[in-house]
Amino acid sequence: SRYYREVLPGEIVKISRYDVQTLDVVPRPEGDPSAFCIFEYVYFARPDSIFEGQMVYSVRRRCGQQLAIEAPVEADLVSTVPESATPAALGYAQKCGLPYVEVLCKNRYVGRTFIQPNMRLRQLGVAKKFGVLSDNFKGKRVVIIDDSIVRGNTISPIIKLLRESGAKEVHIRVASPPIRFPCYMGINIPTKEELIANRPEFLDLANYIGADSVVYLSVEGLVSSVQESIRAQENENSLKTHKSRAGKIGHCTACLTGEYPVELEW
């Protein structure tokens, strides 16, 4: 039978045709909280993944709800660029009481070889990738939820496309904080200079990408969205076992804050 579960930090697991055995759990140095990559929740992981006892989809939805608390906007509808930020967009819409409406659909019929690259397609690389559902947003104020803006060059043509297709206003809300620092733990983040958050354009990002407004989720908002359910589980467990592990929950936010979980040796 198939058996899925999370491998704990430091756990050594033996998988045989008969069972899954824990051979050992390497203890963490005393007092150090764990430092699970917070960007797994935001971006990398599949939405049906379960980390730390919670589903990634649910965390992304909570990020969207938190973003609605931090950065509401007068608008008519909430949408997203399909489809990685859909859970966050649904959370945002639900919290704001606005309808979630599709404004773009993925074009499944794109093959690199049989699209003739004319000038317009080159200007709007996204035109190949997405179809525009213009009836859904013509004359309306649209909030687009994105999961992250790293360099800033992917969202611009999408905003342009929506405006050309009749959107009255386009507001961008990002369900994660700006990435500012390199990751030394194995994720290939662009260089500091390439990150839009470190460039002068970031000071007027809305104007740079052609949006009416842009707001990112705060680091505190992301951390609370990720940890809320873990804390609730821990409290429930400590009530049952009368043992508290308070303060031991930790996540790596180095790419957002520059605070690395280990000392860098250079």
Q: What are phi and psi of 56, to 5 degrees?
A: -55, -40
- At 191, list the tokens: 């260089």
Q: What is the pLDDT of residue 190?
A: 85
Q: What is the pLDDT of residue 121?
A: 52
In this structure, which CATH number among 3.20.20.80, 1.10.10.10, 3.40.640.10, 3.40.50.2020 belongs to the domain 54-220?
Answer: 3.40.50.2020
**Beta-sheet pairing, 130-132 with 104-106:** antiparallel
Predicted TM-score (pTM) of this structure: 0.89
Q: What is the pLDDT of residue 77?
A: 98
Give the CA count within 13 Å in the CB-facing half-sphere of 103.
29
Q: What is the pLDDT of residue 110?
A: 59
Domain boundaries, the chain: 54-220
**Residue type present at position 58:** S
Going residue by residue through the chain, which has 266 residues, state the pLDDT in tens, using 9 for 90 and above: 567 888 888 999 999 999 999 999 998 887 788 899 999 999 999 999 999 999 999 999 999 999 999 999 999 999 999 989 999 999 999 999 999 999 999 987 755 444 455 555 545 567 678 999 999 999 999 999 999 999 998 899 999 999 999 999 999 999 999 999 999 988 888 889 999 999 999 999 999 999 999 999 999 999 999 999 999 888 888 788 766 554 567 999 999 999 999 888 86
Q: What is the pLDDT of residue 114?
A: 45
Judge whether 175 and 184 are in contact, CB under 8 Å: no
What angle, 0 to 180 degrees and rounded to 10, lies between the N-to-C axes of helices 219-241 and 56-70? 130
The C-alpha atoms of residue 201 and residue 235 are separated, in whole angstroms, by: 44
Q: What is the pLDDT of residue 243?
A: 60
Judge whether 16 and 30 are in contact, CB under 8 Å: no
